[in-house]
Structure 1
Amino acid sequence: MEVECFLLRAPFIKTQSIFPLSNQRNRRNYRFKIAAHTHHDDHHFFQSAITRASYRFHETLRSEPLFVDPYAGCFAPPNLELDEKNNQPLHHYRIGTRFIDDQLLSATKGVDGAKQVVLFTDGMDTRAYRLKWPASTVIYDVSPQAVFNKASQKLKDVGAKIPRSCLLLHVALESSDMQQLLCDKGFNGSRPSIFVFQGFPVTNLVGFKEILFMVSSLAMKGCLFLGEFPVWLTETQVGSKSSVEKWMDEIFMSYGFRVRIIGYDEVAKNLGQEHVDGDSDCLLFVAEHLRFSDDEMEIWRREFQRVEEEGDEDGFEEL
């Protein structure tokens, strides 16, 4: 599928939820059910992904870029106008991308670093190719199937390759059970991991809560979930900074996360950049998981059962 139009701002897709509304408490029996997307939805997904790739392309062309994405150009539409002096204002997405890059590289470095990276993306994320991942890192890209397929072919055509000894695995947004598919592809909830949310096309707050639910089930205690939270998901809660932070804290804490909102201006200042003009359509966040994963709980249950059985056997022998 070819996309002929290019939008300067990623569109917001407000349709029915891509996830079911469920109040089930048994995480291990939970299943994600996602209806097949229409051609119209795919078209929006492509537009949004191309818009973000174009921002990365423009940033790469700056004389002193915040990051370099050597592959973003292969996604840019042929009619994309480039500013020869590249005087475009610094976009919040660029700041957020650099911040997330830094967090990922920090969390994965060292012997004890996270070697499982789950990226909830728009399908054209190039981090698996452009970042210097430590050996044995497994990257899971969760995104729309059609966009990922198209992007993968374009990346292959320009010679993009995953770092040696690393692995990229895709999990389709359209999967009937994303959590189970991640586990089937090797994700281990008893090993350190890090989760990123940027560009993933949720359609409403319920959809994002389902992502929180899934990540909470998979992530070990202490693991990080970070990224960009679309402002429009706050619905009528938008107000003062303190009220938004309180609302975010309540949402995340209900799934076992302690969240912190990071100001784009704060990140820009730390990077030696000028003030970012305008309001962002996202909130940059970092959340620490405070609960045990399902796999950790299962290991604890088995160990507790083993101790009980050994205790029963010892008691029988004494009798």
Structure 2
Amino acid sequence: MEIQSFLVRPPATPVITQPLSPVSNNRNYRYKITAKTNSHQDSNHDHPLFQSAITRASYRFQESLRPEPLFVDPYAGCFAPPNLDLDEKLDQKLHCYCIGTRFIDDQLLSVTKGDDGAKQVVLFTDGMDTRAYRLKWPSSTVIYHVSPQSVFNAASQKLQDVGAKIPRSCLHLHVPLESSDMQQLLCDKGFNGGRPSIWVFQGFPVTNLAAFKEILFMVSCLAMKGCLFLGELPVWLTETQVGIKSSVEKWMDEIFMSYGFRMEIWRREFRRVEEDGDEDGFEEL
């Protein structure tokens, strides 16, 4: 099975296929910040899964407060810790994460629009992703949110408390990361492999390369030809087997094409970043 693939590898290799215009010029991002920073008293929030999700939400909250943000997440503030203070050393990481987030947002809105757009969206996230609430989804879009159960439950309650709602005529279904058979559960919840779909991988906790391969296998089994898989690939996944930068492209080809993915776009963007990017920044996370 062939699946066209777009990959964003932070921090220095985001795949950007169109200019990033200010939010004020994009009607899909005309929101107000309705959720302010919130305290986290639950002891569960000390768990690494919660901490990493809160960190990403804090990035989105800080980006939303910029004069000309790449995007506006009106709900990220309800996850951010109180008295949030941006460390200057984290600014580059924040910026790269936000570029990736904007890219993914734009691709989702582009691929799902129109009568013939993909109306099945599968989000592999940390559990605090707010795209189901903040993006302007077309009618009849079904969003499958794959993430840790405990994080998703806590995030859903906070989103409900601040009045976040799914767009009318759309459906938001959770698929727990802990599921013994995630592929079967997706199908049980209505996913149809015979219909177009778009798959997003950002912030999803994977413990090793084998776990990531399981995700690729599931996508290759469920997605029809022409579907898209995009997101952020953790750098440490490549560093487990790649010793030098020049080997990354070969590694990407081998692992993705072994599961039936087409990698032409990745190769083109990889070369563009190699030519234009900062060598030092390439290997940092």
CA distance in 1, matches of 2:284, 2:196: 31
Deviations 1:108-157 (A, max 9, x none): 01111000000000000000000010000000000000000000000000
Q: Check 1:45–1:59 CA distance in 2 against 1; reply closer, same or farther (3 A cut).
A: same
Ranges in structure 2 where 5+ consecutive residues have no aligned partner: 1-42
- Which has the greater radius of gyration? 1
Q: Does 1:154 pair with 2:158?
A: yes
CA deviation after TM superposition for structure 1 residue 91, in Å: 1.8
Residues 164 and 40 (structure 1), Cα distance of their counterparts in 2 relative to 1, 3 Å cut: closer
Instruction: From 241, 244, 250, give the equivalent of 1:236.
Output: 241
Write the distance in 2 (CA, Å) between the matches of 1:152 and 1:53: 14
Are residue 125 (structure 1) and residue 129 (structure 2) matched? yes
Tell me how many residue pairs correspond in the alignment.
235
Q: Equivalent residue for 2:63?
A: 59
Deviation at 1:243, TM superposition (A): 1.6
Cα distance change on mapping 1:76 and 1:40 into 2, 3 Å: closer
Aligned 8 A contact 2:127 2:151 in 1: yes
Q: Which residue of 2 aligns with 1:7?
A: none
> More relative contact order in 1 or in 2 (CA 8 Å, sep 6+)?
2
Label 1:201 to 1:107 Cα distance change in 2 as closer, same or farther (>3 A).
same
Shift of 1:79: 3.6
In the alignment, structure 1 residue 80 sits paired with structure 2 residue 84: yes
Quote the residue 2:49 is aligned against.
45
What percentage of residue pairs aligned between the two structures are identical?
79
SS of match in other structure, 2:157: helix
Deviation by residue 1:193-228 (Cα, 9 ceiling, x = unmatched) = 000000000000000000000000000011011100
The secondary structure found in structure 2 opposite 1:91 is helix
TM, length-normalised to structure 2? 0.76
Q: Is the 8 A contact 1:143 1:172 kept in 2?
A: yes
Deviation per CA, 1:51-73, whole angstroms, max 9, x where unpaired? 00000001000000000000000
Decide whether aligned partners of structure 1 residues 178 and 127 sit closer, same or farther in structure 2, where only a CA change above 3 A counts: same
Structural mapping, 1:1-319, within 5 Å: 43-81=47-85, 88-89=91-92, 91-234=95-238, 235-240=240-245, 242-259=246-263, 260=266, 262=269, 278-279=281-282
Cα drift, residue 40 of structure 1: 8.8
Change (3 A) 1:67 1:146: same
Q: How does the TM-score come out when normalised to structure 1?
A: 0.68
SS in 1 for 2:172: strand
Deviation at 1:78, TM superposition (A): 1.5
Match of 1:136, SS state, is coil
- 1:224-272: CA deviations, max 9, x gaps? 11100101011130422x4201111110000000131646x96xx9xxx
What is the aligned partner in structure 1 of residue 10 from structure 2?
none
Q: 1:40, 1:152 → 2: CA distance?
A: 15
SS in structure 2 of the partner of residue 237 of structure 1 = coil
Cα distance change, pair 256–136 in 1 and its aligned pair in 2 (3 A): same
Q: Is this contact kept in 2: 1:92–1:280, CA < 8 A? A: no
1:82 deviation in Å?
A: 5.6
Question: CA separation in 2, counterparts of 1:119 and 1:230?
Answer: 16
Q: Secondary structure at the match of 1:77?
A: coil
**Contact between 1:232 and 1:281, CA under 8 Å: does it hold in 2?**
no
Letter in 1 for 2:123: L
Give the RMSD, CA atoms, in angstroms.
2.8
